[in-house]
Structure 1
Amino acid sequence: MLIIAFAALLQATDDSTVPRKAVVNPRELMIEAIDAPDGSAHGMLTGEMAEALKRGFGTTAPLRIDVTTLKRYRQEGCRRLNVAFSQDDVRSPGAPGGGPRRIDFGIDYCRDGRPPSSRAEAE
């Protein structure tokens, strides 16, 4: 029984089952997350930026982007977002072989592309 529960947990956290849309610019997903009822958006970076990053990291693996809302601000359409870039088979200088890598950063962002004028949180 414990093994079945653990397998279900692993499957639930596997991001390969998350539907992803192709985007050329991460901002598209940031705006989608602002508007989403659950505050999240998932995509895969394509285009010139994605190809340059793949070359730089020595991999052909897709570059996944996950955006989640951390805080809602009072100012309409403004949020504190976590933007996570993840990719498999990334080769790091001085490290043997490749492996999965993830980079997260937080950003205060509004639909119009500017930061909020205030960090007062929504009630």
Structure 2
Amino acid sequence: MNAKGIVSLLALLPAMTFAAGDGTDYRDLLMKAMNAKDGKASVEVTGRTAEMIRQQINRPNARVVAEVTTVANLKQEGCKRFNIRYYTPGTLLPMTDGSTRMLDMSVKLNMCQNGLPPGVDSEYELEERMVKDSGLKPDLGSPIQQPAAQQ
């Protein structure tokens, strides 16, 4: 796998992790890790995320696993920082130096007992923030026009 492919996958991971749709329930997976004595949980990834990874690495039958570990407790009560590690056991990928290794990439994120990020109290508020941060108008789905810079 080339460096461009890995960079593309890494750029997509945060969006893939909580993408709406079929497949792996990441919120459930993170809650299992949050409540586990050892702070860990894992699952075989299914749905869109697994398909996107398989397509990117050009391995349609690769097994994709997500392993969650608790990294830290956060200041906000009931909130933790997690590392989600994606890997492909049994599937080796060719590297540019001639060696091979399995896909192994991670993303970190924060989540609280309510299933939301710290400082967010409802699904509505989360959606509002995501729309605002994306620069899209919720009604039209088009970029918000920025005022022209004065010269």
Shorter chain as normaliser: what TM range? 0.5 to 0.7
* Structure 2: gaps (5+ residues): 1-22, 120-151
Q: State how far apart, in whole Å, the 2-side matches of 1:98 and 1:112 are.
A: 41
**Residue 26 of structure 1 contacts residue 45 of structure 1 at CA under 8 Å; is this kept in 2?**
no
SS of aligned partner of 2:103 = strand
Bigger mean CA deviation after superposition, 47-56 or 57-66: 47-56
SS of aligned partner of 1:48 = helix
In the other structure, the counterpart of 1:24 is 24
Q: State how far apart, in whole Å, the 2-side matches of 1:49 and 1:56 are.
A: 11
User: For residues 77 and 99 of structure 1, do their structure 2 counterparts lie closer, same or farther at Cα, with a shift above 3 Å needed?
Assistant: same
In the other structure, the counterpart of 1:120 is none
TM-score by length of 2: 0.52
What is the RMSD computed on CA atoms of the aligned residues? 2.5
In the other structure, the counterpart of 1:49 is 49
In the other structure, the counterpart of 1:38 is 38
Q: State how far apart, in whole Å, the 2-side matches of 1:63 and 1:97 are.
A: 21
In the other structure, the counterpart of 2:104 is 102
> Which letter does structure 1 place at the counterpart of 2:47?
G
Q: State how far apart, in whole Å, the 1-side matches of 2:49 and 2:86 are.
A: 13
Runs of 4+ with deviation above 4 angstroms:
90-98
Task: Give the superposition deviation at 1:45.
Answer: 0.3
Q: Which structure would you say has the larger Rg?
A: 2
In the other structure, the counterpart of 1:75 is 76
User: For residues 80 and 63 of structure 1, do their structure 2 counterparts lie closer, same or farther at Cα, with a shift above 3 Å needed?
Assistant: same
Identify the structure with bigger relative contact order (alpha carbons < 8 Å, sequence gap 6+): 1
**Residue 93 of structure 2 contacts residue 103 of structure 2 at CA under 8 Å; is this kept in 1?**
no
Q: State how far apart, in whole Å, the 2-side matches of 1:108 and 1:79 are.
A: 6
Task: Give the superposition deviation at 1:34.
Answer: 0.9
